[in-house]
Structure 1
Amino acid sequence: MTSLRTPRLTLRRWREDDLEPMAAINADPEVMRCVVDGSVRDREQTAEVIARWEREWDERGVGLFAVEVRETGRLAGFTGLTVPDYLPEILPAVEIDWRLGRPFWGRGIATEAARAVLHFALRDRGLARVVGVHQVGNDASEAVMRKLGMRRERETVAPASGAPVRVHVLEA
């Protein structure tokens, strides 16, 4: 079972008891405003996507980790690696991604978790290049990408949503 630890966090595979807190995160319009078309997700959609993330681990050897705050055991959201099939122009690529619930914003959790994932990507998975994609206007995600040492590579449009996005890259 793949898991990572940081000073404050455990990044691990998904468990059944993660469904309710992740569904609450996905149901928050403020959290979801810069995700695809900005629509919230219900419990059933969250269960489907968690199952897809778990399959991705099994099929591709990368996936999205549940991010647990070690001190409290609370699920903060996710971070990890995924293939950005929604943006064919940058394929082949592996993307670092994250989403946290609002109570966890502004505490450095996204940066701490993403640093551990980048280390995992480059060292354990042997990736030479990792991309990060965010919707234009999602300044918080862009700031995390900068803190991680990623550089802006291009601006484009996500085909499914028509949203302008920026692609950042980190090369080993």
Structure 2
Amino acid sequence: MNDIRTPRLLLRRWQEDDLLPLAEIHADPTVMQWIGDGRPRSLEETAEDIEAWEEEWDEEGFGLFAVELLGSGELAGAVGLYVADSPPELAGRIAIGWRLGRVYWGQGYASEAAHAALEFALQDRGIDQVVAAPRPGDSASANVLDKLGMKAEGSAQDPVHGHDLRLYSIDLTEFEG
């Protein structure tokens, strides 16, 4: 898998020295409020996340990329594709997700990286549809999904954490990369 360069970002596989910067991102309650159960993650949990993402790369040929700023080399967060296991309405489908450190919010990095991940899905992996399931109230993620051209297709409930989800999808044959 080759790295993906955008005008401002490098999307790449995970490296050992990414653990501490990602753990700092995961320790921020504001960053994590919309992810999973909404609580910050420990260093150990962050290491488990990276290990799981790398395993998905090896097994599926896609996963979450490390997002690095080209200008500084700083780790801004993660973006990419994964096989959804819940809610049941999305189980087994390929989903897109991201998390960026709060200092990188509001600068278009999430949209830029997510757009590159969708292009990767279509052009490099031949994936024909991608889904997403943000929580209502996560307006920043909804804005990114709108910029990507993803359309709301309904709602569901997270069977593990019990919160509501909005379901989005995009047919990548219609994606304007």
What TM-score do you get using the length of structure 2 for normalisation? 0.95
Partner residue in 2 for 1:99: 99
Residue identity opposite 1:146 in structure 2: D
- State how 1:13-28 maps to structure 2 within 5 Å: 13-28=13-28
* C-alpha separation in 2, matches of 1:20 and 1:2: 24
Match for residue 75 of structure 2?
Answer: 75
2:66 counterpart SS class: strand
Aligned to 1:143: 143
Q: Residue 132 in 1 paired to residue 99 in 2?
A: no
Q: Is the 8 A contact 2:89 2:156 kept in 1?
A: no
Give 1:158's aligned residue.
158
- State how far apart, in whole Å, the 2-side matches of 1:154 and 1:128 are: 19
The Cα offsets for residues 30-78 of structure 1, whole Å up to 9 and x where unpaired, read as 0011111111101011001100100000011110000000000000000
SS for the counterpart of 2:80 is: strand
Q: State the shift of 1:84 in Å.
A: 1.0
Maintained 8 Å contact 1:130/1:169:
yes
The answer for the alignment partner of 1:37 in structure 2 is 37
Matched, 1:170 2:170: yes
SS at match of 2:20: helix
Deviation at 1:139, TM superposition (A): 0.4
Aligned residues: 172
> Residue 112 of structure 2 aligns with which residue?
112
8 Å contact from structure 1 (residues 36, 163) kept in 2:
no
Give the gaps of 5 or more residues in structure 1: none
Provide the rounded CA distance (Å) in 2 between the counterparts of 1:21 and 1:28.
11
Counterpart CA distance in 2 for 1:68 and 1:133 is 24
Name the amino acid aligned to 1:102.
Answer: R
Distance in 1 (CA, whole Å) between partners of 2:113 and 2:132 is 14
Match of 1:2 in 2: 2
**2: distance between equivalents of 1:64 and 1:48?**
13
Which ranges in structure 2 are unaligned for 5 or more consecutive residues?
none
Instruction: Output the CA distance in 2 between the equivalents of 1:73 and 1:23.
Output: 17
Q: Distance in 2 between matches of 1:41 and 1:47?
A: 10
Equivalent position of 1:89 in the other structure: 89
1:3 deviation in Å?
1.5
Question: Helix, strand or coil: the match of 1:58?
Answer: helix
Moved over 3 A (4+): none
